[in-house]
A = this chain, B = another copy of it.
Amino acid sequence: MDSLKVTPWEVSGELNEGAYKKLVEKFGVDIINDILLNRIKKAAHGKLHPFLYRGIFFAHRDLGAILDDYEKGKPFYLYTGRGPSGKMHLGHLLPFTFTKWLQDTFDVHLVIQITDDEKYLVKKSDKKEIEKMAEENVLDILSLGFDREKTHIIKDFDSAKSLYYYATDVAKHTTLSTVKAVFGITDSDNIGKAFFPSMQIVPSFIIPAITGKKIRCLIPYAIDQDPYFRVSRDVLPKLGYYKPSSIISKFLPALQGNTAKMSSSSPESAIFLDDDEKTVKRKLMKYAFSGGRDTLEEQRKYGANPDIDFSFNVYSFLESDQEKIEKVYGEYKSGSMLSGEMKAIAADKINGFLSDLRKNREAVKDYVQDYAFDPERLRL
């Protein structure tokens, strides 16, 4: 745990089960229990997204309150986001399949924030490059087919007029001491980095703020983003809004194993959205961490451990038919399926997914503007 560092800007150290357990305690979030899972399942007519039954989304805050409202017929909305990056890889995009599943299941509005300002303040120096990345990332995300009426893309720089007005509400109630303690910001950091949390917190109340309707917000995110929403939970009640609810995931495994995030800074650890079929297959065969045995004989005799197998994991995230997944799991675990076969199944699944994306991406270019954040469109 000493070597574990998890902030919104840096994740390092071994991410095993013990590490997640300690993060849960440190951050004070709750584990998603079977009661909650069953309530979601009921709303989803018996089908859970793989991220839920595979325990990738494993923790939450006030998820019960969201389900209470839903069951009473009261609306809520979803908020997620992305810091613009160069080419998106599968690990970047998969969380959005979960958000889309939530939107489809609950039929709710969704705000997607693109934090071009954070990228500029904290990491990159070329605004033009960041804007280009933001544009491409938005096309990648929208290729998943989000509801055109109910999805609202907020690019921070473009939407600054609406965002900044409300960000000052957060800023006025957040001291430098707080952001130093929660985000590890120091006096040698720039003043924009200290202010930026205000901008990321706004979407968690922007729909009630603009519409005047007191509704809840549910935010799916990986656990490194939790500091923003801890601050948000302190501030929002002071402004007359609900605390935001969260549904919180672990990190997706990198190709080489379960203990690091898929990362675009080590290109071979990631499958990019524009990787062709051969590249996907080659990356899986060559680099994907396997839960299989060292020899054919051992594999036949003892079977694989699918839970730590990259190919099985990715396959299970992309396959919507839970029975198929369980069949593959059983065969692989029993030893009747070999590592190479598992990799081939995963490669096919990934290639089918990427091929659909690429088709959608071309179409989306024609109507991407329909998704742009516009206060007028937020009136429920």
A184-212 residues with Cβ-Cβ distance < 8 A to B are 185-195, 197-198
Which residues of B sit under 8 angstroms from A176, Cβ to Cβ? 176, 185-191, 194
| A168-B117 CB under 8 A given contacts A176-B188, A177-B188, A180-B187 | yes
Which of the residues B159, B191, B193, B197 comes within 8 Å of A179, measured between beta carbons? Answer: B191
Interface assignment of A171: CB less than 8 Å from any CB of chain B: yes
User: Quick check: B161 and A175 within 8 Å, CB to CB?
Assistant: no
User: Quick check: A175 and B192 within 8 Å, CB to CB?
Assistant: no
Which residues of B sit under 8 angstroms from A179, Cβ to Cβ? 191
Q: Which residue of B lies closest to A185 (CB)?
A: B176
User: Quick check: A195 and B171 within 8 Å, CB to CB?
Assistant: yes
Interface assignment of A164: CB less than 8 Å from any CB of chain B: yes
Question: Given the complex of chains A and B, what is the CA–CA distance between A177 and B188 in angstroms?
Answer: 6
| A190-B173 CB under 8 A given contacts A120-B168, A121-B168, A164-B164 | yes
Q: Which residue of B lies closest to A180 (CB)?
A: B187
Which residues of B sit under 8 angstroms from A120, Cβ to Cβ? 168, 172
User: Quick check: B165 and A191 within 8 Å, CB to CB?
Assistant: no
| A174-B194 CB under 8 A given contacts A157-B165, A160-B164 | no
Which of the residues B158, B185, B188, B194 comes within 8 Å of A161, measured between beta carbons? Answer: B158
Q: Mark A294-334, 1 if CB is under 8 A from B, else 0.
A: 00000000000000000000000000000000000000000
Question: Given the complex of chains A and B, what is the CA–CA distance between A165 and B120 in angstroms?
Answer: 10
Name the residue among A178, A180, A191, A198 with the largest chain B CB count within 10 angstroms.
A191
Question: Given the complex of chains A and B, what is the CA–CA distance between A198 and B160 in angstroms?
Answer: 14
Which of the residues B157, B178, B193, B198 comes within 8 Å of A192, measured between beta carbons? Answer: B198
Q: Mark A328-355, 1 if CB is under 8 A from B, else 0.
A: 0000000000000000000000000000
Which of the residues B177, B185, B191 comes within 8 Å of A195, measured between beta carbons? Answer: B191
Q: Which residue of B lies closest to A192 (CB)?
A: B171
Question: Given the complex of chains A and B, what is the CA–CA distance between A190 and B231 in angstroms?
Answer: 13
Q: Which residue of B lies closest to A197 (CB)?
A: B191
Question: Given the complex of chains A and B, what is the CA–CA distance between A328 and B164 in angstroms?
Answer: 52
Can you offer 15 A-B residue contacts whose CB atoms are under 8 A? A120-B168, A125-B172, A157-B161, A157-B168, A160-B160, A160-B163, A168-B192, A171-B191, A171-B193, A174-B191, A176-B187, A176-B189, A176-B191, A191-B194, A194-B195
